Amino acid sequence: MSFGNMPIANRFVTEHEFEGEYFFELAPAFCAECGTLQLVEQPDPAEMFHDQYAFFSRTSASMQVHFAGYADWVMQHYLGQEPFVVELGSNDGIMLENFARAGVRHLGVEPSENVAKVAREYGVNTLCSFFTPDAATAIRGEHGAANAIIAANVMCHIPDLNAIGEAADILLKPDGVLIFEDPYLGSMIEKNSYDQLYDEHVYIFSLRSVQSIFGRQGFEVVDVLEQGTHGGSMRYVLARAGSRACSDTVGRLRAQESRLGLDNPATYDRFRENCESNRAALVSLLRELKTTGARIVGYAATSKSTTVLNYCGIDSSLIEYISDTTPIKQGRYTPGTHIPVRPHADFVEYYPDYAVLFAWNHAKEIMSKETAYADAGGKWITFVPKVEIKQA
Ligand code: TYD
């Protein structure tokens, strides 16, 4: 299936950059043999992760709480004597700072220098690099083998997972674990949240696909834990085959995936049809509201919004601007559709009639802090799982 030409989701542009933006075809494909949903065309990682990377994990209060919980759980279950923990794609250090505070030896491996710099300011040891077999050899030489390699919303960004399996095998202790969580294919299909598909999300994993990809490298999934983050995620715990006992939850989730139809190619045909109907409903609602003279803005210039805006062909004729709290995005324009991104203060100063909630996964956090907007009569437009107007 194709969602058409897409720009890089996190490349918020200046007016000078309107010409010559990088586009690629966003075309996910399902492999019935291994159960993997992946992008056919994968943009060069260097186009996505660099010293201007616009996603800072600390922008959400609820994610700070989530990562503190994730770190505590790892410390409780997976750290033996003299532990050493390595995080892949450690961003601004939101998770590792919890290990740093607990005095656990740690290292973040993060390819974008601007976010790595912030992590160091929080006392997080960070190496600016992609995680490759060579990097793993160098880290092991300098710091010793790791008890745990952890990641969140990172593994699905990495095109060459064979190299990750190889690198993990180099770096981990014999009973070491590789733990990661990412948006879950089952949730995307259930909620029709097609905006999970963008350049950075090369894969949308299911348990079956993780078993198949990492099984080739000698790893097996020994536990799975459902997460509410990013609109429905799954945490996978992997160990070298036979090195650890396997939880019953793994078999239960596989059975549930079959019941949901995740193994069946017809599910993805239905998903594509649902995306088309969702697009038609969103565009016609925005057009209709515009004809009544309503002011409509976007709330949160998320990566996900790049897919929605470009797939639906929504530009500043329908959405006046998008409010976002990330300084690097403010004053710039959305990739491909060139809607201005403005600071949250602009939203508060002059409330619109409608706000399209692009960070729908943070709806609870956002609606609970925007009660003054709702009290002033402001309404939310959401599009996951279906297009509707909500008065919080
Ligand atoms: P997230 O859903 O993590 O984005 P992505 O789709 O890129 O994974 O949301 C983070 C973005 O949303 C970030 O640009 C900041 C913005 N945001 C706000 O502007 N206000 C808020 O209250 C929250 C929670 C996020």
Q: How many angstroms separate the alpha carbon of residue 186 from the centre of ligand 1?
A: 22
Q: Which of 153, 257, 154 is nearest to 208 (CA)?
A: 257
CB 314 within 8 A of CB 287: no
366 lines ligand 1 (CB under 6 A): yes
- Over residues 92-110, the mean pLDDT reads 97
pLDDT for position 48:
79
Q: Tell which atom from ligand 1 comes closest to the C-alpha of 299.
A: 19
The verdict on the CB of residue 326 being under 6 Å from ligand 1 is yes
pLDDT, tens only, 284-297: 999 999 999 999 99
- Are 383 and 282 in contact by the 8 Å Cβ rule? The answer is yes
At 88, the pLDDT band (50, 70, 90 cuts) reads: very high
Q: Report the pLDDT averaged over residues 74-101.
A: 95
**Residue % of the chain over a pLDDT of 90:** 93
Q: What does the pLDDT look like over 183-240, one tens digit per residue?
A: 999 999 999 999 999 999 999 999 999 999 999 999 999 999 999 999 999 999 999 9
Does 68 have pLDDT greater than 80?
yes
The residue whose CA is least distant from atom 22 of ligand 1 is 366
SS3 at position 259: helix
The answer to whether the CB of 39 falls within 8 A of the CB of 28 is yes
Residues 334-390: tens digit of each pLDDT: 999 999 999 999 999 999 999 999 999 999 999 999 999 999 999 999 999 999 999
For the Cβ of 198 lying below 6 angstroms from any atom of ligand 1, the answer is no
Residue ranges with strand state E in the chain: 5-7, 23-25, 28-31, 36-39, 84-88, 105-109, 126-127, 146-152, 172-183, 203-204, 219-227, 233-240, 296-299, 322-323, 341-342, 354-357, 379-382, 388-390
Peptide bond preceding 352 in cis form (omega within 30 of 0): no
Which atom of ligand 1 is least distant from the CA of 359? 2
Q: What is the CA(16)–ligand 1 centre distance, in A? A: 25
> Taking 80 as the threshold, does the pLDDT of residue 152 lie above it?
yes
Q: Tell me: the pLDDT tens digits for 4-58?
A: 999 999 999 999 999 999 999 999 999 998 999 999 998 877 777 778 777 788 8
Q: Which residue has the higher pLDDT, 80 or 195?
A: 195
CA distances from 366 to 143, 308, 369 (A): 41, 20, 5
Under 8 Å between Cβ of 321 and 339: yes
107-143 in b/e form (b: 16+ CB < 10 A) is: bbbbbbebbbebbeeeebbbbbebbbbebbeebbeeb
Please give the pLDDT value at position 47.
Answer: 77
Query: How many whole angstroms separate alpha carbon 311 and alpha carbon 308?
Result: 5
Average pLDDT over residues 312-329: 97
What is residue 209's predicted lDDT score, i.e. its pLDDT? Answer: 97
In the prediction, which pLDDT does 12 show?
96
Q: Which atom of ligand 1 is nearest to the CA of 61?
A: 24
Pairing mode, if any, of strands 219-227 and 322-323?
unpaired
Please tell me the predicted confidence (pLDDT) of residue 368: 95
Protein residue whose Cα sits closest to atom 2 of ligand 1:
359
Q: How far is the CA of 167 from the centre of ligand 1 (A)?
A: 31
Q: Give yes or no for residue 302 CB within 6 A of ligand 1.
A: yes
CB 56 near ligand 1, within 6 Å: no
Give the model's pLDDT for residue 270: 97
pLDDT of residue 172: 98
Closest ligand 1 atom to Cα of 195? 6
What local confidence, expressed as pLDDT, does residue 49 receive?
77
- Compute the distance between CA of residue 106 and CA of residue 125 in angstroms, rounded to an integer: 7
Q: What is the pLDDT of residue 260?
A: 96
Quote the ligand 1 centre to 73 CA distance (angstroms): 25
Backbone angles phi and psi of 179, in degrees to 5: -120, 130
3-state secondary structure of 7: strand
Residue with CA closest to ligand 1 atom 11? 302
Which pLDDT score, from 0 to 100, does residue 80 have?
A: 82
Q: 109 alpha carbon to ligand 1 midpoint, in Å? A: 23
Cβ atoms of residues 51 and 112 within 8 Å: yes
For residues 148-174, average pLDDT: 97
**Which ligand 1 atom is nearest residue 362's CA?**
24
- Of 65, 61, 112, nearest in space to 91 by CA: 112
Those residues with Cβ within 8 angstroms of residue 222's Cβ, 6 or more apart along the chain or in another chain: 177, 237, 238, 239, 244, 245, 246, 247, 250
